[in-house]
Amino acid sequence: MDIKTITTLAFLMPATAAMAVDSPISGVVEPKCSIWTETAGVYGHPLPYKLTTKPADGGVKASIRVDIAQADYYKTKFTHPNSFSSSPTLTDAVSWTGSTVVGAVGVAGMSAYEAAKVTYNNVTEFNMTLAGSTWFTIESEASYGSTKSLPAGNYTALIVAECIAK
């Protein structure tokens, strides 16, 4: 080996060593619940006295995704509306119905959430025993008086989605 090759190699060696420096990317996984509002839901107006999210009546059901990072740390609660948060003046009573069901699941075992859900008043509770994503579908219907026409104006109703650490 001639002196020229040895000198070139001597210069290259520290240069390659410098390229081997690590550049770490760090991250932390901690128990976390994310509430994703995927579809806000829209009321259809099939009859003068009725507002409903049923697709057959021109409505759109609300869809909420809940992501759980660690299994068995959270429960979720969904409250479908039982009053308008804003509306024109209503002189008669409004009767409300609604429901929350498991729409789709990210892990097969989550299908059991539907059978194990607890429902009271207008609230539905689910025990999130598995990590992953679950989609919940919320339906709501409001009927004014017996068959009275709803006055013209803007109507707003609120769905409450909650994630509570156990």
Partner 1 sequence: MYSKVILALCFVFCTTAYAHEMTPAYPQLKSSYIEGVLSAKMKLFNRRQDVSYYLIEVFTSDFKPIPFASSSISTVSSKVIKVGYNKSKIFDVYIRSNDIDRAVYICTQSKLFKQTDQISLITSRVCSKIKDK
Query: Which residues of the chain form contacts with partner 1 (CB under 8 A)?
Result: 30-43, 51, 53, 62-65, 67, 70, 73-74, 81, 85-86, 140, 154-166
What is the Cα–Cα distance from 161 to 166, expressed in whole angstroms? Answer: 16
**Nearest-CA neighbor of 132 among 113, 106, 109?**
106
Q: Of the two residues 86 and 119, which places its CB atom closer to partner 1 in the complex? A: 86
Toward partner 1, which CB reaches closer, 113 or 135?
135
Distance between first and last Cα of the chain: 72
Q: How far is the CB of 51 from partner 1 (least distance, A)?
A: 8
Closest distance of CB 123 from partner 1, Å: 12
Closest CA to 76 of 43, 96, 102: 102
Pick 57 or 162: Cβ nearer partner 1: 162
Contact between 66 and 36 under an 8 Å Cβ cutoff? The reply is: yes
Minimum Å gap between C-beta 62 and partner 1 is: 6
